[in-house]
Amino acid sequence: MRFDLIRCHGSGNDFPLIDARALDLSDGDWARIARVLADRGGPVGGDGLLLLTAGDADHAFGMRMFNSDGSESETCLNGLRCVARLGFELLGIDAARVRLKASSAEVARKAQIAPGVVTVETRAVASIDLARVGLRIAGDALIEGGVPGLPSARAFTAVAMPNPHLVSFVDAVDDGELSAIGEWAESAPDILPGRGNVSFVELRNGGLFVRTFERGVGLTDSCGSAMAASTFAAGLTGRAAFGCEVTVFNRGGMVRATAAAPEDGAVVAIAGNATFFEDASVGIEGDAVAERVVHRVRRDEIAAWDAVLADVTI
């Protein structure tokens, strides 16, 4: 099999992106291709695989996202910005409703967050319904409370974006502690059988610094839905005002985020980069990349994002 692809990133969350609108492959095939292409030890690498898929009567196009382990995620907001950009460019539009695995999202081009940085805004609805989070504990919601059975006494807020997130506000991020809790969530415990993403969040530099153990990925420099869930959790716990823009940082960069209160619709808007840094084609044979040809390196976009990172204090 041979594919044309774009290597891209949103806030450092990097992926190979394929226009799959005319491709007819099984879920099993795509899972295998994701494992091959996202392998950090291989010639491509990434946090997963993004697919631009065909639209329908209600959506201009769709997105699918496979993690590096081959599992499919409900959404990925950093990846969605990149998929949206490709959809905009191929269809000649500037805004769209996008079909996700189990929901929809609104996307639109926005003014650049920094010179030379293509910027896309995503809008998705957050939920604190424990059934939607997939957290099987007593009650309807968990806002800054303990999780029975979790190997930590920290308080967490549970949010679905629609993928599941547990968010804890901390004085200082400890990667070892975060990884231990993340590995527990990754093990599909009885109270979280669908697994989940776990984030530690610091209040830093007037905004939020988010560090995430991502389901199907592990400890990651950037997770867009975690940035959205953390913004919503900050509003729920009084650490940020609903309706006001907050800058959200991670090791991959930054985004501008705004969350509406639950009674106002619970929409979380994230405006951030959709950077394309390489155009390539690959041939896959079995479980390996047999050939990779680089057609273009987008050095101007790389330089523009490097300038952003130079101004970000992590």
- Which two structure tokens, joined as six digits, stand for 133? 């989070």
User: Could you confirm whether 244 is annotated as catalytic?
Assistant: no
Instruction: Judge whether 224 is annotated as a binding position.
Output: yes
Element (H, E) at 297: strand 288-297
Instruction: Judge whether 205 is annotated as a binding position.
Output: no
Instruction: Judge whether 225 is annotated as a binding position.
Output: yes
Q: Which of 8, 76, 82, 244 is catalytic?
A: 76
Instruction: Judge whether 250 is annotated as a binding position.
Output: no
Instruction: Judge whether 78 is annotated as a binding position.
Output: no
Long-range CB contact pairs, 102-110, < 8 A, 24+ = 102/74, 102/162, 103/74, 103/75, 103/162, 104/58, 104/59, 105/75, 105/77, 105/80, 107/80, 107/81, 110/271
Residue located via tokens 């295998």? 32
User: Could you confirm whether 82 is annotated as catalytic?
Assistant: no
Closest CA to 77 of 253, 255, 196: 255
Do 130 and 140 touch, CB atoms closer than 8 A? yes
Residue located via tokens 């959404």? 75
Instruction: Judge whether 214 is annotated as a binding position.
Output: yes
Instruction: Judge whether 104 is annotated as a binding position.
Output: no
* Active site residues per annotation: 76, 223
> Which residues participate in the annotated binding site for substrate?
13, 67, 163, 197, 214-215, 224-225
> Which residues participate in the annotated binding site?
13, 67, 163, 197, 214-215, 224-225
